Amino acid sequence: MKPVIALVGRPNVGKSTLFNRLTKTRDAIVADFPGLTRDRHYGNARLGKREFIVIDTGGFEPDAGSGIFKEMAKQTQQAVAESDVVVFVLDARGGLSAQDHDIANYLRRLNKPTLLVANKAEGMKEGSQLVEFYELGLGDVLPVSAAHGQGVRPMLEAALDKL
């Protein structure tokens, strides 16, 4: 069985962009509209000879009776349950939000290796804006730019190291 990495995080942080970068496909729907991806997407990825599966999350049916946030939470929980490692994606530019805290609280209770990454970090001074993310109590946070490909390889190495 290939290891499975789940990308979780609130809408618009760049999960689908990271998914596309990792799987080198445009399978996931990348949009300027939070949460447009309708379903979880699975993709194959590799780091050198190591192959793994990536799950993109955050999709929901816009008119789901249960409401957007409930559906997102369900999606996240299902993806996390299916995964061996969770990559929790944050927005290095947008900073922490209440939703980030909710996701962190959920992840902290699980016995699942978790890696924090701060996306959209291109052009940012090394580390300076990442201090606040330590507040989540989930350890180190790695800066990445899914759009530009920066930091993606070290991120993958760190994620696979947690297996």
Q: Which residues bind ligand GDP (CB under 6 A)?
A: 9, 11-17, 30-32, 34, 37, 58, 119-120, 122, 145-148
Give me the sign of the Cα torsion angle 129, 95, 5, 149: negative
Comparison of 111 and 123: residue with beta carbon closer to ligand GDP = 123
- For Mg ion, the binding residue among 58, 72, 83, 92 (CB under 5 A) is 58
Partners of 85 in the β-ladder: 5
Say if residue 39 is exposed, middle or buried (CB neighbours under 10 Å; 0-12, 13-18, 19+).
middle
Comparison of 111 and 128: residue with beta carbon closer to ligand GDP = 128
Annotated binding residue at 16? yes
Give me the sign of the Cα torsion angle 76, 129, 12, 98: positive
For residue 112, the minimal CB distance to ligand GDP (Å) is 20
Annotated binding residue at 44? no
For residue 56, the minimal CB distance to Mg ion (Å) is 6
| Backbone phi, psi, residue 145, to 5° | -130, 100
Q: Is 14 in the site for Mg ion (CB under 5 A)?
A: no
Pair of tokens at residue 30: 């990348």
Comparison of 15 and 40: residue with beta carbon closer to ligand GDP = 15
Q: What is the dihedral of CA 139, 129, 160, 23, to 10 degrees?
A: 140
Q: Which residues bind Mg ion (CB under 5 A)?
A: 15-16, 37, 58
Annotated binding site for GTP: 9-16, 56-60, 119-122
